[in-house]
């Protein structure tokens, strides 16, 4: 039992080191990769630890069930979120909303109109910010943008474009199939649909480039013939 635990710990450390090696050089000094300590955590998430420090946290139990290429692309998706500055932060909104609500109730009691207006204004601003932060359409848009950037990161680390799309697509399908909650499953399915559209556009662009490269020598040869006449 002890040897199994030690082997498991070594495997986890090895995977964390491997993932750290997949960080772009410009992120390695301020982004760390650690196993999560939460109860029932998400597969992968990022947390801002300080002004210039971000930690990517991974549930290695769920993580090990994925293929290596799937892990890599999901990791680069999270890296892309860090680069795009779209990771979740503990904001001031909840505290401001609580203060505003408390102030509004208090001012109703003492009937101070100006302070009541200020308290309601604070509630409105903080409530809107909370809504914007938790808006599902915004989260989906940010996730799709991170997927696109993850594909670019994968090619930067040696993946071909088709393999990058295939690996991320299979990872999203696997997670969607394992997600019981309908709203979350729809989020992954929407990302997968967007990824398929992007892959189709990339293939069409590649086909046009290959077609152009094949026809260009023929055109050049014709031009040369014309010049000798």
Listed by start position, the domains of the chain span: 1-65, 67-88+136-229, 93-133
The angle formed by the CA atoms of residues 139, 80 and 9, to the nearest 5 degrees, is: 105
- pLDDT of 114: 56
Residue 80 exposed, middle or buried by CB count within 10 Å (0-12, 13-18, 19+): buried
- Chain centroid to Cα 76, Å, comes to 8
- pLDDT of 96: 43
Residue 74 · residue 44 · CB < 8 Å = yes
Q: What is the pLDDT along the chain (229 residues), one digit of tens a residue?
A: 456 577 788 889 999 999 999 999 999 999 999 999 888 899 999 988 877 899 999 999 999 999 999 999 999 999 999 999 887 655 444 444 445 445 444 544 455 555 555 555 545 554 445 444 455 788 999 999 999 999 999 999 999 999 999 999 999 999 999 999 999 999 999 999 999 999 999 999 988 888 777 665 544 555 555 544 4
- pLDDT of 62: 94
The set of residues, in sequence order, having a beta carbon less than 8 Å from that of 192 and lying 6+ positions away, is: 169, 172, 173, 176
Alpha-carbon span 47 to 78, nearest angstrom: 11
């Amino acid at each position: 039992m002890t040897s199994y635990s030690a082997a498991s710990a070594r495997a986890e450390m090895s995977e964390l080191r491997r993932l750290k090696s997949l960080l772009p050089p410009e992120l390695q000094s301020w982004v760390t990769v650690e196993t999560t300590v939460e109860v029932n955590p998400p597969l992968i998430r990022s947390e801002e630890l300080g002004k210039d420090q971000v930690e990517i946290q991974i549930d290695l139990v769920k993580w090990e069930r994925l293929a290596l290429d799937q892990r890599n692309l999901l990791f680069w998706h999270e890296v892309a979120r860090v680069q795009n500055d779209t990771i979740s932060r503990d904001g001031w909104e909840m505290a401001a909303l609580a203060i505003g609500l408390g102030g509004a109730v208090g001012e109703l009691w003492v009937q101070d109109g100006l302070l009541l207006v200020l308290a309601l204004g604070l509630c409105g601003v903080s409530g809107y910010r909370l809504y914007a932060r938790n808006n599902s359409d915004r989260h989906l848009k940010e996730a799709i943008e991170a997927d696109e950037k993850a594909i670019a990161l994968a090619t930067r680390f040696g993946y071909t474009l088709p393999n990058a799309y295939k690996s991320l697509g299979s990872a999203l399908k696997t997670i969607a199939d394992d997600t019981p909650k309908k709203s979350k499953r729809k989020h992954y399915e929407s990302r997968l649909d967007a990824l398929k559209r992007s892959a189709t556009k990339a293939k069409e662009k590649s086909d046009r480039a290959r077609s152009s490269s094949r026809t260009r020598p023929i055109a050049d040869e014709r031009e040369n013939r014309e010049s000798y006449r």
